[in-house]
Structure 1
Amino acid sequence: MSQNHDWMQRDLAVLWHPCTQMKDHERLPVIPIRRGEGVWLEDFDGKRYLDAVSSWWVNVFGHANPRINQRIKDQVDQLEHVILAGFSHQPVVELSERLVRLTPAGLDRVFYADNGSSCIEVALKMSYHYWLNVGRPEKKRFVTLSNSYHGETVAAMSVGDVALFTETYKSLLLDTLKVPSPDCYFRPEGMCWEEHSRAMFAHMERTLAEHHHEVAAVIVEPLIQGAGGMRMYHPVYLKLLREACDRYGVHLIHDEIAVGFGRTGTMFACEQAGIRPDFLCLSKALTGGYLPLAACLTTDTIYQAFYAEYDTLRAFLHSHSYTGNPLACAAALATLDIFEEDKVIEANRALALRMAEATAHLADHPHVAEVRQTGMALAIEMVQDKPSKSAYPWQERRGLAVYQHGLSRGALLRPLGSVVYFLPPYVITPEQIDFLAEVASEGIDLATRKHVSVAVNRDLHPNHRDPG
């Protein structure tokens, strides 16, 4: 019996995996990973897999990165954790200073959480509480985009719009306002991304004009709607949104948990619109994919609305046990060092170009509706009918066929439904990008054959989306 099989059996006896229909694993093996190095993951039988999805979009500088490793090792000998209420420590102060310097001017205060969903909860609560503190208790609703995803906790789900994640819990969710997304996938023929995104802003303008008196904030995933299928839009929408939020007296929350730290081609997506949100939510790549940490940055104006004598009860009494954990902060500091010392954003431009070149041929595939890209994120959308962009029935799980083929060839490609995407670590080489393109092309050819859906649907329970 292989070591992989032994570990898989032990796993299935005790674990309940995230974003998984566990019955799938009667036929789809769990892959136990023994070690990682760079872009590679290695299982207990010695097979390697190129991590094309950065292990749920977190790993930017490779597995077991020696520079991040060393920073954590040094920190663990000094301080592993301390309560952040009434106490502080060197790594959290240094990290906060650097985040304030790196992000758009005016984001001067940093509040820490443990993960992306929790960070979204912080921003939502802080926005609502701000309006309460300044005497506007009626401003308590949130505006969000269709097909958006902001996490799995209840308030985060409330501002999301991917039915697979939200429908079951509908009766628990907040009452939010949904506005059609500026996603450019269904733009009219001949219309460019900018024109379409600009035209779609009319929906947001109308919503804010009608509801601004009761709206605390608008929340968006800037430029890329990740779990919604890597759908993308033009920065002009963000610029128009910032102007409208200012005009109507509404906060703007940018969820850059997935797209921050270089993924879109700039350090932060908001830079491409030349704007500053009122809340900037960061996580995932913040620690290089090492440890859970999230940061919600906001303005001094918002901070001052909470700054008062204790008996006013205006304090923001939100907390997590591991807030600002020193080990996670040390990993984040090492990650920021690499960005600075290796000129990563500049180097990524060449890698992004190679991704475009390596996948360009797929635009002509009879079952590929679009190959789209923003920086180091590239998506290939498989469809049943190309001219109409008619989607495959989700029950057919076409993306699963690509995933299985990728594993057989030594690549971790975990599609979002029928969308195959590359979101690789920034240490990937041009040759490794070519390899991923080759494997993806083979997988798409296999997945779009008519008989595939029958075999896949017979054996496996549907679970067509992945939250990242």
Structure 2
Amino acid sequence: MAERSNAELIRRDLNVLWHPCTQMKDHERIPLIPVEEGKGAWLKDLDGRWYLDAVSSWWVNLFGHANERISERIKAQIDRLEHVILAGCSHEPAVELAERLVAVTPQGLSRCFYTDNGSSAVEVALKMSHHYWRNSGHPEKLKYINLSNSYHGETVGALSVGDVGVFKAAYEPMLMEPITVPAPDSFHREAGVSWAEHAERMFVHMEAALEAHAHETAAVIVEPLLQCAGGMRMYHPRYLERLREACDRHGVHLIADEIATGFGRTGTMFACEQAGITPDFMCLSKGLTAGYLPLAAVLTDERVYAAFYDDFTKLNAFLHSHSYTGNPLACAAALATLELFDSDDVLAQNRETAALMAEAAAPLAEHPHVGEVRQHGMVLAAEMVQDKAAQAPYPWQERRGLHVYRHALERGVLMRPLGNVVYWMPPYVISPEEVRLLGEVAAEGIDKATRA
């Protein structure tokens, strides 16, 4: 039998694999973590060591690894139907899930279009908005408005409407040019200014952009309340209230990218609920299947759907497709995920866990090199700074977050900072003891990183 150890799997891996979001040369000195098993909030490597999954395996895992109730639902489905083309066919899991999503998302969203992943969901929303205006006699509405520091995925359209340079710069010649408005994230607010007041002040930039460009703009796209890949920057729901009203007034669609914020992450089922708004398009993925299988959905309303409903010869149909659209196994996982929300009062439990996270992280706010500790629900972030008074960042080339990452692994925690931002986005099943461990490890890691 072949050797089963971390070292052997790493050797084989580096001979053949190219990992995502990775400079592969880093692995000359930073070992991979070969994972063979997961249980609850923990992952085990081939040498038998366990790691607390503080990042929910890229923000997807809601109810722990190897969750019995989700696994059983998938096992039951796999013996009946593994996949079927969704063009011209249908199946019970896809229909039931669409019904459930229409019921649980903000009122007015009544149509569900499936796709494979978050980036593709954003592509669908961008194309639907563009195509809606074309079908409605406004082919001049070709542009999109986004927020600075935003991230919406890696496919060409999704990358176009993002604004994180490290992901985007190399591909600029391939991309559309959005109209970028300064984000309302509260890290940049003046001393003594509340999150809500800062959101109001920052909205003047969006209002100005809509005044100038609404006639040529299809949609505004935002990550509601939380810019994840942009460093877990956060803002107040008031901005979304103002944005919904302005989009209506100017005749522009609103796309809510809830791929990372949906399914309880920010304290409500969807972040948009905290502003009491319904977007024209809502993009969902990640937590939709609790980390089990790839699936995404775009929810929209009857007005949008009706603009495509016509005789085939009019060529108004939305001819967008993916081979695995509405995969029955993924839909089964998503249905089990939604059932857990219904049966286990997850949002109430999350409020208790979020309070424990705030308590565990409170000492970080006093650290001389932590500029801010911020939180929306089950997402908490601490931003390391070189100069606290000036909120001056460390040079990105110093990779301070990497020191935190390596220390956390030594302590048995998988914590993957975003540059200088140390964050927790754990599975909802994390225990109070495990939350306290995150607080200890983060404090130790930040101490090490800021002394280096």
TM-score (norm 1): 0.96
Alpha-carbon separation, structure 2, partners of 1:253 and 1:440: 34
Alpha-carbon separation, structure 1, partners of 2:423 and 2:54: 8
- 1:61 equivalent to 2:94? Answer no
Instruction: Give SS of 2:51's match.
Output: strand
Match in the other structure for 2:419: 417
Deviations 1:244-301 (A, max 9, x none): 0000000000000000000000000000000000000000000010000000000000
1:206 to 195, 205, 208: 208
Instruction: Give SS of 1:139's match.
Output: coil
Match in the other structure for 1:407: 409
Alpha-carbon separation, structure 1, partners of 2:23 and 2:53: 22
What are the residue-to-residue correspondences of 1:170-185 with 2, within 5 Å? 170-185=172-187
Deviation at 1:54, TM superposition (A): 0.2
Match in the other structure for 1:78: 80
- 1:445 equivalent to 2:447? Answer yes
Instruction: Give SS of 1:157's match.
Output: helix
Match in the other structure for 1:318: 320
Deviation at 1:175, TM superposition (A): 1.7
- Amino acid corresponding to residue 60 of structure 1 in structure 2: L
Match in the other structure for 2:351: 349
Deviation at 1:105, TM superposition (A): 1.1
Instruction: Give SS of 1:185's match.
Output: helix
Alpha-carbon separation, structure 2, partners of 1:408 and 1:224: 29
TM-score (norm 2): 0.99
Match in the other structure for 1:153: 155
1:12 to 11, 14, 38: 14
Match in the other structure for 1:466: none
- Amino acid corresponding to residue 340 of structure 1 in structure 2: D
Alpha-carbon separation, structure 2, partners of 1:66 and 1:349: 24
Match in the other structure for 1:30: 32
Match in the other structure for 1:262: 264
What are the residue-to-residue correspondences of 1:295-374 with 2, within 5 Å? 295-374=297-376
What are the residue-to-residue correspondences of 1:266-305 with 2, within 5 Å? 266-305=268-307
Alpha-carbon separation, structure 2, partners of 1:176 and 1:262: 30
Alpha-carbon separation, structure 2, partners of 1:77 and 1:16: 33
Alpha-carbon separation, structure 2, partners of 1:31 and 1:429: 23
Instruction: Give SS of 1:174's match.
Output: coil
Alpha-carbon separation, structure 1, partners of 2:407 and 2:395: 20
Deviations 1:316-346 (A, max 9, x none): 0000000000000000000000011000001
Instruction: Give SS of 2:87's match.
Output: coil
1:94 to 81, 93, 96: 96
- Amino acid corresponding to residue 351 of structure 1 in structure 2: T
Alpha-carbon separation, structure 1, partners of 2:118 and 2:4: 36
- Amino acid corresponding to residue 355 of structure 2 in structure 1: L
Alpha-carbon separation, structure 2, partners of 1:40 and 1:357: 22
Instruction: Give SS of 2:429's match.
Output: coil
What is the identity percentage for the equivalent residue pairs of Structure 1 and Structure 2? Answer: 67
Alpha-carbon separation, structure 2, partners of 1:424 and 1:409: 16
Deviations 1:14-54 (A, max 9, x none): 00000000000011101110100000000000000000000
Match in the other structure for 2:219: 217
Match in the other structure for 1:377: 379
2:125 to 123, 127, 130: 123
Instruction: Give SS of 1:318's match.
Output: coil
Deviations 1:162-188 (A, max 9, x none): 000001001111021000000010100
Match in the other structure for 1:108: 110
Instruction: Give SS of 1:107's match.
Output: coil
Alpha-carbon separation, structure 2, partners of 1:361 and 1:437: 9
Match in the other structure for 2:238: 236
Deviations 1:389-425 (A, max 9, x none): 1100011000000000010100000000000000000
| Unmatched tracts of structure 2, length 5 or more | none
| Unmatched tracts of structure 1, length 5 or more | 453-468
Deviations 1:405-451 (A, max 9, x none): 010100000000000000000000111000011011100000000xx
Deviation at 1:2, TM superposition (A): 7.0
Aligned length: 450
Alpha-carbon separation, structure 2, partners of 1:302 and 1:140: 16
Match in the other structure for 1:462: none
Match in the other structure for 2:135: 133
Alignment RMSD (CA, Å): 0.6
Deviations 1:359-396 (A, max 9, x none): 10110100000000000000000011100011000110
> Would you identify which runs of 4 or more consecutive aligned residues in structure 1 move more than 6 Å?
none
Alpha-carbon separation, structure 1, partners of 2:79 and 2:387: 59
Match in the other structure for 2:198: 196
- Amino acid corresponding to residue 299 of structure 1 in structure 2: D
- Amino acid corresponding to residue 191 of structure 1 in structure 2: V
Alpha-carbon separation, structure 2, partners of 1:395 and 1:210: 38
Deviation at 1:147, TM superposition (A): 0.1
- Amino acid corresponding to residue 345 of structure 2 in structure 1: K
Match in the other structure for 1:457: none
